[in-house]
């Protein structure tokens, strides 16, 4: 997990193998709280990605100035100031967007993915890698948020991407699915326990896919005598 | 621990604190006016939606009074925006709070016309259960639009209840508490306006503050 990662590995890590929401289980509070619909998930994911990329860049830039013993308070300061500034700027200049995403912005401060990536990656890497890491980790979280939001919304309310037109304009209308007002759904999916249940299922699914992939690799290694020794499964 | 590295660490930390605070302060100064203007616009749009089109001839946000009637209006202080046209009183818009929602207080915006009928009601914010109680939102169902034109004589005051309690307003399948509380709060708002009478139109407006809140 040091500077030797290729760009491809950084992206892979962010989207799959070190996905912050499914593997590191960081940032659970905003993840569970805002994944009540696919649109909310997408909005929260995009806002987090933007802040995460900015904070990674800022922290990578100052990484030689900060002494190790005070790095955490400095990170917290930078992240908090950035989020507040972004919140104010959006409120002033992107008000339409703010009305949709605004409620999520202050929540980003409590997302430990941001400080997690600052500490685990940005502080040890040059700016371009830190920025890519922010984008990749943010995209990974956005995918999980949107999937979880979509599942909960569909099962709980029978809609998908409801009100996406507020955020994405006419394109959002294309995404919207509605099973109609007669579909009452399982309210449990929308309530907080539903978030835990479906997140658990998503994590299980990811582990299953990983296990299959490992088994396949091991089988391949056994089949070819010169191959590397099989990796332990599980 | 040596004292010099600690002092340096302290200095670096305070330098970052200064930079961080300056960033926020500069952004705040640069955006405060625009944010206030945006809030104003939003509030005006909300007001326009619940009074008849073209009936706002003044600036209701500036022509505002604060009233204290927590019994009927649910919060210690409630804003009353006065809508006038050509000097004539048109409507009062209040922002009462429903204190007994299913999952916390519900904030409303209620327009009461000069004749005591409702111009309209909107839900500003709530914490009701998604899919059940949130059907009070205008964007989910038309339920809240059913208040327009109603008054304390229409239906008669004892019919200001949900159907399950013998009134005229629909409840939702699986959610009776939410609409019951909203109906009660709207009726209470009408009672408050009726009791105060013209007084609400004639009181001097509060001095302009930091824009709409």
- Residue B124 belongs to a domain: yes
pLDDT digits (tens, 9 = 90+) for B162-197: 999 999 999 988 889 999 999 999 999 999 999 998
Domain span at residue B136 reads 64-202
- Residue A233 belongs to a domain: no
Min CA distance, A33 vs chain B (Å)?
A: 13
* pLDDT value at A230 more than 80: no
Min CA distance, B33 vs chain A (Å)?
A: 8
What is the mean predicted confidence (pLDDT) over A144-173?
83
For B24, which of A84, A92, A181 is closest by C-beta distance? A84
- Residue A139 belongs to a domain: yes
CB B48 within 8 A of CB B190: no
Contacts of residue B24 in chain A, CB cutoff 8 Å? 81, 84-85, 88
- Residue A1 belongs to a domain: no
**Three-class SS of residue A42?**
helix
Radius of gyration of chain B (CA): 23
Helices (H), A70-126: 71-93, 95-101, 105-108, 112-120
Domain span at residue A84 reads 7-223
* Percent of chain B residues topping a pLDDT of 70: 96
**Count of the separate structural domains present in chain A:** 1
CB A113 within 8 A of CB A52: yes
Q: In this predicted model, which residue has the larger pLDDT, A123 or A94?
A: A123
CB B200 within 8 A of CB B82: yes
What the block records as the tokens of B168 is 């005229």
pLDDT digits (tens, 9 = 90+) for B53-102: 888 889 898 899 999 988 899 999 999 999 999 888 999 999 999 999 99
Which pLDDT belongs to residue A231? 54
**Three-class SS of residue B94?**
strand
Task: Spell out the residues 6+ positions from residue A212 whose beta carbon is closer than 8 angstroms to its own.
Answer: none
What is the mean predicted confidence (pLDDT) over B28-40?
92
Which pLDDT belongs to residue B136? 92
Min CA distance, A84 vs chain B (Å)?
A: 7
Which pLDDT belongs to residue A198? 94
Radius of gyration of chain A (CA): 20
A15: DSSP letter: I
* pLDDT value at A3 more than 90: no
- Residue A187 belongs to a domain: yes
- Residue A133 belongs to a domain: yes
Among candidate residues B124, B123, B115, the one with its CA nearest the CA of residue B193: B115
Q: Decide if B35 and A91 are in contact by the 8 Å CB cutoff.
A: yes
What the block records as the tokens of A138 is 């943010």
* pLDDT value at A216 more than 80: yes
Taking the C-alpha atoms of residue A14 and residue B112, their distance in angstroms, rounded to an integer, is: 54
* Percent of chain A residues topping a pLDDT of 90: 38
B108: DSSP letter: E
Taking the C-alpha atoms of residue B86 and residue A137, their distance in angstroms, rounded to an integer, is: 58
* pLDDT value at A2 more than 50: no
CB A1 within 8 A of CB A23: no
- Residue B35 belongs to a domain: no
- Residue B37 belongs to a domain: no
Q: Decide if A73 and B13 are in contact by the 8 Å CB cutoff.
A: yes
**Count of the separate structural domains present in chain B:** 1
- Residue B47 belongs to a domain: no
CB B53 within 8 A of CB B67: no
* pLDDT value at B213 more than 50: no
Interaxial angle between packed helices A127-157 and A192-223, expressed in degrees from 0 to 180 and rounded to the nearest 10:
120
Sign, CA torsion A21/A22/A24/A29 = positive
Q: What residues pair up with B97 in beta bridges, in sequence order?
A: B107
- Residue B174 belongs to a domain: yes
């Amino acid at each position: 997990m040091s500077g030797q990662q290729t760009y491809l590995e950084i992206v892979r890590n962010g989207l799959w193998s070190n996905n912050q929401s499914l593997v590191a289980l960081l940032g659970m509070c905003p993840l569970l709280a805002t994944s009540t619909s696919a649109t909310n998930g997408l909005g929260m994911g995009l806002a987090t990605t933007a802040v995460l990329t900015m904070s990674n860049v800022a922290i990578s830039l100052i990484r030689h100035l900060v002494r190790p013993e005070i790095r955490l308070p400095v990170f917290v300061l930078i992240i908090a100031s950035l989020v507040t500034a972004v919140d104010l700027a959006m409120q002033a200049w992107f008000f339409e967007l703010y009305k949709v995403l605004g409620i999520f912005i202050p929540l980003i401060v409590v997302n430990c993915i941001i400080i997690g990536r600052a500490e685990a990656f940005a502080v040890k890497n040059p700016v371009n890698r830190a920025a890519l890491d922010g984008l990749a980790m943010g995209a990974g979280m956005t995918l999980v948020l949107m999937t979880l939001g979509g599942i909960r919304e569909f099962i709980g309310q029978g809609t998908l991407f409801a009100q996406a037109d507020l955020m994405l304009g006419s394109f959002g209308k294309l995404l919207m699915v509605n099973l109609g007002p007669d579909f009452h759904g399982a309210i449990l999916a929308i309530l907080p326990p539903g978030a835990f249940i479906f997140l658990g299922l998503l994590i299980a699914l990811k582990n299953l896919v990983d296990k299959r992939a490992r088994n396949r690799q091991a089988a391949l290694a056994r089949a070819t005598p010169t191959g590397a020794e099989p990796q332990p499964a599980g | 621990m040596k004292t010099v590295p600690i002092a340096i660490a302290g200095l670096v930390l305070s330098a970052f604190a200064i930079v961080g605070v300056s960033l926020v302060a500069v952004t705040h100064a640069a955006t405060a006016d625009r944010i206030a203007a945006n809030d104003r616009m939003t509030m005006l749009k909300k007001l326009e939606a619940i009074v008849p089109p073209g009936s706002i001839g003044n600036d209701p946000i500036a022509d505002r009074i604060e009233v204290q009637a927590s019994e009927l209006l649910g919060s210690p202080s409630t804003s009353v925006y006065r809508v006038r046209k050509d000097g004539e009183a048109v409507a009062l818009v209040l922002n009462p709070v429903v204190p007994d929602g299913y999952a916390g207080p519900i904030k409303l915006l209620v327009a009461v016309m000069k004749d005591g009928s409702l111009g309209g009601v909107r839900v500003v914010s709530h914490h009701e259960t998604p899919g059940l109680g949130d059907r009070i939102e205008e964007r989910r169902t038309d339920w809240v639009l059913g208040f327009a034109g109603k008054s304390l004589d229409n239906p008669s005051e004892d019919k200001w209840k949900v159907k399950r309690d013998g009134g005229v307003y629909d409840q939702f399948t699986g959610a009776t508490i939410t609409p019951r509380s909203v109906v009660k709060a709207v009726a209470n708002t009408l009672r408050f306006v009726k009791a105060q009478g013209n007084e609400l139109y004639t009181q001097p407006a509060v001095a302009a503050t930091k824009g709409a809140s």
